[in-house]
Amino acid sequence: VMHDANEVTLDKMAEYTQSEDIIARYEAYGWETYEIDGHDLDAVEKTLAAAKASKNGKPKFIKCNTIIGKGVEEVEGTNAAHGEAGVPYVDGARKGLGLPDEKWFVSPGTKDFFKGVQDKNKATYDEWQTTYAAWAAANPDLSKQLTDAVEDNVPTAEELCATIPVMDAPTEATRVSGYKIIQEISKAIPQYISGSADLHGSTRNYIDNGGNFGSGFDKTYAGKNMYFGIREHAMGSILNGIAYHGLFKASGSTFAVFVDYFRPTIRVACLAELNRVSWILTHDSIGVGEDGPTHQPVETVSGLRVFPNLDVYRPGDAEETVAAFASSVSRKEGPTALIFSRQNIVQNDAMPAAERRAGALKGGYIAKKETADLDIIIIATGSELQHAIEVGAAMPGARVVSMPCTSAYDRQSDEYKESVLPTAITKRVAMEAGVSALWWKYVGTNGKVVGVDRFGFSAPGDIVMKELGMTAENLKSVVDSM
C-alpha cells in the first residue's frame, strides 16, 4: 500500500483533527513499513523495489510524504488545495512547472515505455496460457472446477432445490435448518466458503469437514470456514474483496442486530452488484428474548429491504430456507441477506416441500389456499407465518400468503402477483415481528399490519412475542375486527 500523506483534510490541516502515528499503527498490525519523500521519484523506485524484494510474508506499507497542490503557489500545502480552490491557478502552475499547454499531454518517452510494457505483458500472457493449457489437459476435473468458479457457473436455484433432500424438519429455528442446508450448498458448489464474526456457535453456518482458513493452530489455506473475530465491518469488507476477486462465493454471519456495524460494506456490495456475497443474519427479531432491546432487531430487516439490488429472505420454515439459500448462491444481480430465527418454527407440512421451495423462490406465494369464496388475505413472513396459517386454517374464506422476500416477489409478472394478491380483495392483514412501515404497500389503505413499532424488552422470547402481539390469538383478534 502506498499511502499519500499530505497531512490535509477537507476542513482543516490534518494535525487540527487527528494525532495518530500511522507508521506505528501499521507496525502494530504486523506490516512492514517504509517512509519516504513522495516527490522523490528515485526514492519511490528504490523503496518499491525493496518492498517487493522483502519476502518476510508481511504486507508492505509505504508512507509517501507529499505536499498537496505542489506547484500551485496560491494553495500549495493547504487544505484549500483539497477541493476546487486551486482550479483557477492551474494554467499558471503548468507554466511554472514547465509543462506544455496541452492539458492531456503524454510525452513520447512515456508512450514508448508503456509500449514496451505491453509487449512484455503479452509475452508473459502467452507463456501463461501455454502452461495453463497443459495443466488443464492433465487435470480436466480441476480445470472444470476452476473454470466454473471463475465464470460463476453454478446450478440454478431450481436445480439446487431439486437436488437438496426434503428436510422433513421438526419444529426448529431456521438457523438450525440453515446449518443443515449449508452442508448441501457446500457439496454442490465447491467454491462456496463461509465465516462468522465470532458467532459460529449461534449462527450455525459452520461447514462440516471444510477445515478452517488461515495459518497456525488447526488452520490451512484450504479451509472453507473463516474466523473473522469480533470485526463485523472487517468481515463485510473482506467478503466484498473476495467477491471482487471473482473466484469464490462467500458468506459471513452475525446477529441481525449487528448489521449496523458493517452496513457501509453492504451498501458497497449492493451498489457494485456483488452477487457472490451473502450474509447469514440470525436472531431475527424480538424472539431473541433475554438479551433485551439492544439485541432485538425490530427495524433491521426492513432497513435492509430498502437497499437497491439486495434480496432479503426471511424464511418461514425449513423448506423456504432451502429456497433462500439456493437463491443466495445462484443469483446474478446482487447480494442476498438471509434472515434466520433463534425461535423455533412449526413447519408448513400441509404443503409439499417442492411447492414451498418453488413459491419461496418467487418471493411470495399462496401457503394456504381458501376453501370457500375468498374473503381475506393474511400475509406473513418468517416465524409469523405459522400464526397466519393457524388462523387461516380455521377460516374457509382466508388465504394465507407467505412472503419471505419482498424484492423477489416484486420482480414477478403482474399476472403472477394478481394471482397471489388479487386487487379485488382489499381486506388484508400483514404480520411480522418488526416495524410495520413496508407492509402497507401490500395491504393497502383498507388493510392492517400487525407489527412491532417499538423496541422490545428483556424476557424469554416467547413472553416478549406474546406481550408485543406476535401470536395467533392477537392476529385472529385483528382479523375479526375487520
User: Which positions are annotated as active-site residues?
Assistant: 232
Cα 438 to the center of its chain, rounded Å:
21
User: Over 210-279, what HEC string results?
Assistant: CCEECCCCCEECCCCEEECCCCHHHHHHHHHHHHHHCCCEEEEEEEHHHHHHCHHHHHHHHHCCCCCEEE
Residue linked to cell 374457509: 396
Closest CA to 431 of 373, 479, 368, 481: 479
DSSP assignments along 87-143, one per residue: GGGHHHHHHHTT--S-TT---HHHHHHHHHHHHHHHHHHHHHHHHHHHHHHH-HHHH
Q: Are 65 and 40 within 8 A, CB to CB? A: no
Q: Alpha carbon of 445 to those of 380, 429, 439, 450: distances in Å?
A: 17, 11, 11, 14
Q: Are 451 and 436 within 8 A, CB to CB? A: yes
Q: What angle, 0 to 180 degrees and rounded to 10, lies between the N-to-C axes of helices 108-138 and 140-151?
A: 130
Residues in the chain: 482
Cα 192 to the center of its chain, rounded Å:
14
Give me the residues paired with residue 250 across strands. Answer: 193, 277
Q: Which amino acid is at 207?
A: I
Cα angle at 159 between 156 and 160, to 5 degrees? Answer: 90
Give me the residues paired with residue 282 across strands. Answer: 255
End-to-end CA distance of the chain, in Å? 63
Residues 6 or more apart in contact with residue 189 via CB below 8 angstroms: 154, 155, 249, 329
Closest CA to 180 of 199, 165, 162, 195: 165
